[in-house]
Structure 1
């Protein structure tokens, strides 16, 4: 069957119509070499932007508004923090061991596929998943601190700001390490 000049399509000899090979188009749009793909870097930026904005389930702009004005915004923050900390602590208490086991299995599988078998897609997923697991640990620690201290008002806002700063620092470190590893992978593959 003669190849059509457009990749992913073949011309049918008897009808002259173009048949679309969907898997070829999908793999052209979603390149499995993740570190050279723009979509991976957009996903990384959106992931860390979202993780930094939502502090224990509360949008940080609401925390700032509550800190400045009080009133209804402060009530909303206290209500949302109460709901999300109780939920997080309940999930950790009820199924924490199983979640940790599943997370360790998944991270180990991604690490083995990525770094032992050199599957770049698994390396990229590992670079996204490991720091998010650490964000989960930080969130659980902050929720325990808030629940144990019964924090309200300015103390609560300081705890949320401290948690957000920790998430942002982890995000900057994660983006830096991911970018360095991605550049190494692109240069290493470009050499062959």
Structure 2
């Protein structure tokens, strides 16, 4: 019986007091800032430093990811926007009108990531239309990563504040 109780305490179903939620939040933003438009950050840095073959590899991978992203956004864009809008609205209504904690936690996790995904689609379309040179391509990828990290830091900070508020409400303060 003590093992079951210990397991239930470790796997807490309340979101903001669960270690698993905070690990997932950190992992999601770590992955979002590492993979810039589907390209790993270390590859961008290596291409910037070394040039030559590393830059050509980066250019090829960026071209593939840009074509992939723009093709998906053209084919499935309206459906994805509709699904994201529905899911976001449902999470906001369930979380902040009906005050369901798991919906609040998912809203804090997913809504900013949807915004970052939209930024990625906009960047891919811009890069497809303009076909920038190597220096400008790297600059845009790094700028996108910067804004992704900035959004992630603000999101984690706001989520932590709201999570502390939610936990204080539960203990009656």
TM-score, normalization: structure 2? 0.94
Deviation at 1:91, TM superposition (A): 0.8
C-alpha deviation, 1:116, in angstroms: 1.6
Q: Hey, what does 2:44 align to over in structure 1?
A: 63
Range 25-34 or range 72-81, more displaced: 25-34
5+ residue gaps, structure 2:
none
Asked whether the 8 Å contact 1:78–1:152 carries over to 2, the reply is: no
Deviation of 1:26 (Å): 6.4
Say whether 1:110 aligns with 2:116: no
Q: CA deviation at 1:60?
A: 0.8
- The structure with higher relative contact order (CA 8 Å, sep 6+) is 2
2:129 corresponds to which of 148, 160, 180: 148
CA distance in 1, matches of 2:6, 2:94: 25
Partner of 1:78: 59
3-state SS of paired residue (1:35): coil
Q: Which residue of 1 aligns with 2:18?
A: 37
State the match for 2:161 in structure 1: 180
The CA deviation at 1:112 is 1.6
Equivalent residues in 2 for 1:39-54, closer than 5 Å: 39-54=20-35
Structure 1: distance between partners of 2:86 and 2:45: 38
Cα distance in 2 for residues equivalent to 1:112 and 1:121: 12
Query: In the alignment, what sits opposite 2:111?
Result: 130
Q: 1:160 aligns with which of 123, 137, 141?
A: 141
Instruction: Count residues with an aligned counterpart.
Output: 173
> C-alpha separation between the residues in 1 aligned to 2:94 and 2:6?
25
Looking at structure 2, the residues matched to 152 and 80 of structure 1 have their Cα atoms a distance apart, in angstroms, of: 14
